[in-house]
Amino acid sequence: MNALVLLEDVTKVYGSQPALDGVSLAIEPGESVAVMGPSGSGKSTLLNLIAGLDLATAGTVRLDDQDVGRLNETRRARLRRRSVGLVFQFFNLLDNLSALDNIAVAAELAGAGRADSVRRADELLDRLGLADKRSAFPSRLSGGERQRVAVARAIVNDPPLLLADEPTGALDSHSGEQVLDLLRELNRGGRTLILVTHDQRLAEACAERHVHLADGRLTADRRLDRAVAL
Ligand code: ADP
């Protein structure tokens, strides 16, 4: 099976110190991977490179059988919209759009028509228990609801890969567990999950493989027998 994500000897330098230093990593379709490490170890840089939001200084990043570094910006954006769903700690919803439109616009940006985008957004709101919030603006939603809208937005184009950066970091424990359940369910449904987290418990609950970074280097890569329940 081809890897969905393949990094070969990837280095990213911003100033003088490398943020990532010779990282090689292959992630197969359907895996759940937690990326762990202290602040400043390169976790966000790794996510940004995988998503094609940033480019490696050296080495190769392949996503969904495409060499990200060889694509121009337009084609990289297209690959990202089709292949990656992004979930951030602070949701990154558009404040002036309703819950429905936050989701539908992501489908429209990927080329879907308005009617189809609204239909897909409504289906996801329904599935995530947010049907009654379709017209609500983010400021009227709880943190957990905002993050579920953000997850809906991330999957509206049915990407094979979900990248989540501390997705429960800003949530209370109950809302955090709801979001975790959702991510686990999506992974069990076949979607590949890469989760950046400081939280060992979260990593154990959600990911069967744990990758550790320190100072931009991969220091551990281990597979658990199975993820345990929280
Ligand atoms: P983590 O997500 O593990 O906290 P980061 O990937 O954000 O780590 O950062 C790794 C290193 O790269 C840090 O030293 C950070 O200061 C540096 N860095 C990250 N992004 C940038 C940037 N855009 N410009 C300059 N330095 C950066």
Instruction: Kindly state if the Cβ of 176 falls inside 6 Å of ligand 1.
Output: no
Q: In Å, what is the CA distance from 52 to each residue of 26, 174, 192?
A: 16, 32, 16
Cβ-proximal residues to 62 (8 Å cutoff; 6+ apart), any chain: 3, 5, 6, 7, 8, 68
End-to-end CA distance of the chain: give it in Å, rounded: 31
What pLDDT score does 97 carry?
97
104-154 pLDDT tens trace: 999 999 999 999 999 999 999 999 899 999 999 999 999 999 999 999 999
* Atom 23 of ligand 1, nearest CA residue: 14
What pLDDT score does 179 carry?
86
User: pLDDT-derived band of residue 227, with 50, 70 and 90 as boundaries?
Assistant: very low
The minimum-distance atom of ligand 1 relative to the CA of 48 is: 6
What pLDDT score does 229 carry?
47
User: pLDDT-derived band of residue 230, with 50, 70 and 90 as boundaries?
Assistant: very low
117-127 pLDDT tens trace: 999 999 999 99
Instruction: Kindly state if the Cβ of 39 falls inside 6 Å of ligand 1.
Output: yes
Tell me what the mean pLDDT of segment 75-93 comes to.
91
Separation of CA 229 and ligand 1 centre (Å) = 32
Q: What is the DSSP letter of 190?
A: T
Neighbours of 223 (CB within 10 A): 11
In the chain, alpha helices (H): 43-50, 73-83, 99-109, 114-127, 143-155, 173-188, 200-206
- C-alpha 197/C-alpha 194 separation (Å) is 10
What pLDDT score does 1 carry?
63
Cβ-proximal residues to 193 (8 Å cutoff; 6+ apart), any chain: 31, 32, 33, 162, 164, 183, 186, 187, 206, 207
* Atom 25 of ligand 1, nearest CA residue: 14
Residue 69's identity, in one-letter code, is G
The pTM is what?
A: 0.92
Separation of CA 40 and ligand 1 centre (Å) = 6
7-61 pLDDT tens trace: 999 999 998 889 999 999 999 999 999 999 999 999 999 999 999 999 999 999 9
Instruction: Kindly state if the Cβ of 90 falls inside 6 Å of ligand 1.
Output: no
Are 92 and 105 a contacting pair, CB within 8 Å?
no
The minimum-distance atom of ligand 1 relative to the CA of 38 is: 3
